[in-house]
């Protein structure tokens, strides 16, 4: 049975040829889906197109672009049963990496054709959907200063270059972090990151490590260091934390887990939401458990998940 799907395609995302990318997607998905193809532009963004598609009763939403495109599309479906298919073609594609989704167009299309879905948590930051994370401070400045030109030229390396530039003028700010059972006051911090999910490469989110996409909690990581050398050491600890799954214990790193958080900064700080600058602090973020339905790959977990035969002394009693 051919299903109706709206494909929201961001031609400006990534470094590849958008016409070629779109043709590949159409070739792979058209036999199985009746595709309504909508292109983003300077006048019409992905969020507007997604809201219109939902209003018109769309069965499936597909987002071809970077994390900002996916976040905007997801916002229209949070709290519904409309599945979202992520077709990564951006610079970072952090959402795909965080949840183990394919990082190529061909593999992503195959995943969508297989039709397997999963419900994961979503977040809401100042009323906007959040599928990945919100950042204030160092992380936000790094993302803002990585220009479109540099991302097109260098890809992920553009963020590294921008981060090095930020280290030359490491800024601090005072912050108040209000969670369910306490209010945390810190006079000088460099960065606060609130994550729903995040891949290991999003190192400023890796304080608690082992960030789980369906635990109903947000992971808040705080960085407070004085020198650029300490910032590099903290970054190393956070990277190791993300890769190993063990919580970070380096100097100047703090973290909490919570269902909701309110953050106020002095002076006010720029806010990055899922890779896009969206305003300034304060922010209020809450977790929406099982708020988003996404297509996921077929995995070994889809094979039989029970094996008991061969265990010494095995006895099984039927109920």
Interval 86-110 mean pLDDT: 88
Cα(203)–Cα(239) distance, rounded to whole angstroms?
Answer: 5
Model confidence over 211-234: pLDDT tens digits? 778 899 999 988 888 775 676 777
The count of residues in the chain is: 319
Topology match between the domains 3-115 and 130-290:
no
Strands (E), 171-230: 173-178, 183-189, 191-195, 218-223
pLDDT band at residue 125 under the 50/70/90 scheme = very high
Cα(233)–Cα(239) distance, rounded to whole angstroms?
Answer: 10
User: pTM (2 decimals)?
Assistant: 0.78
Q: Specify the CATH number of the domain 3-115.
A: 3.40.50.10330
Say which residue, 156 or 242, is predicted with more confidence.
Answer: 242
CA distances, 93 to each of 7, 130, 132, 156 (Å):
17, 14, 10, 10
Say which residue, 208 or 9, is predicted with more confidence.
Answer: 9
Kindly report the backbone phi and psi dihedral angles of residue 61, in degrees, each rounded to the nearest multiple of 5, phi listed first.
-115, 130
Cα(56)–Cα(51) distance, rounded to whole angstroms?
Answer: 9
Query: What are the boundaries of each domain within the chain?
Result: 3-115, 130-290
Residue 273: in which H helix or E strand, if any? strand 270-273
Interval 166-174 mean pLDDT: 71
Output the average pLDDT for the chain.
82
User: What pLDDT is stored for residue 225 in this prediction?
Assistant: 84
According to DSSP, the residues that pair with 280 across neighbouring strands are 270
User: What pLDDT is stored for residue 319 in this prediction?
Assistant: 46
Which range is most confident: 140-144, 155-159, 256-260? 256-260
User: What pLDDT is stored for residue 204 in this prediction?
Assistant: 82
Residue 134: in which H helix or E strand, if any? strand 133-137
Question: Helices marked H in 145-257 — which ranges?
Answer: 148-154, 157-167, 228-244
Query: What tokens were used for 179?
Result: 């969670």
Output DSSP code: residue 247: P
Model confidence over 26-81: pLDDT tens digits? 999 999 999 999 999 989 999 999 999 999 999 999 999 988 898 889 889 988 88
Cα(30)–Cα(34) distance, rounded to whole angstroms?
Answer: 6
Rg (CA), the chain: 21
Are the beta carbons of 159 and 142 closer than 8 angstroms?
yes
Looking at 2.60.200.40, 2.60.120.10, 3.30.70.1070, 3.30.70.1230, the CATH number of the domain 130-290 comes to 2.60.200.40
Give me the percent of the chain exceeding a pLDDT of 70.
78
The four Cα atoms 133, 139, 142, 144 give a dihedral, to 10 degrees, of 50
Model confidence over 178-211: pLDDT tens digits? 999 899 999 989 889 999 998 887 888 888 877 7
pLDDT above 50 (res 156) = no
pLDDT above 90 (res 258) = yes
The answer to which of 16-20, 151-155, 234-238 has the lowest mean pLDDT is 151-155
């Amino acid at each position: 049975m051919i299903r109706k799907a709206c494909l929201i395609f961001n031609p400006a995302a990534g470094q590849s040829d958008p016409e070629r990318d779109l043709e590949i997607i159409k070739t792979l998905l058209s036999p199985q889906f009746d595709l309504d193809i909508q292109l983003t532009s300077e006048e019409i963004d992905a969020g507007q197109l997604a809201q219109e598609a939902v209003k018109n009763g769309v069965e499936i939403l597909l987002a071809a672009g970077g994390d900002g495109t996916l976040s905007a599309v997801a916002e229209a479906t949070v709290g519904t049963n409309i599945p979202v298919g992520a077709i990564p073609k951006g610079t970072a594609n952090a959402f795909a990496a965080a949840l183990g989704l394919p990082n190529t167009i061909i593999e992503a299309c195959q995943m969508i054709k297989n039709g397997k879905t999963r419900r994961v948590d979503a977040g809401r930051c100042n009323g906007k959907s959040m599928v990945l994370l919100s950042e204030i401070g160092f992380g936000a400045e790094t993302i803002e200063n990585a220009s479109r030109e540099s991302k097109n030229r260098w890809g992920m390396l553009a963020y590294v270059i921008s981060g090095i530039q930020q280290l030359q003028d490491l800024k601090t700010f005072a912050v108040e972090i209000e969670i369910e059972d306490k209010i945390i006051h810190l006079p000088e911090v460099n960065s606060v990151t609130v994550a729903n999910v995040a891949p290991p490469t999003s190192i400023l989110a890796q304080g608690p490590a082992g960030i789980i996409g369906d635990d109903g909690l947000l992971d808040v990581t705080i960085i407070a260091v004085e020198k650029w050398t300490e910032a590099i050491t903290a970054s190393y600890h956070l990277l190791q934390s993300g890769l190993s799954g063990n919580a970070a214990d380096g100097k100047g790193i703090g973290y909490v887990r919570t269902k909701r958080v309110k953050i106020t900064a002095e002076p006010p700080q720029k806010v990055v939401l899922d890779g896009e600058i969206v305003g300034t602090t304060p922010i209020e973020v809450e977790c929406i458990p099982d708020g988003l339905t996404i297509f996921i790959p077929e995995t070994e977990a889809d094979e039989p998940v029970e094996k008991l035969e061969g265990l010494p002394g095995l006895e099984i009693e039927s109920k």
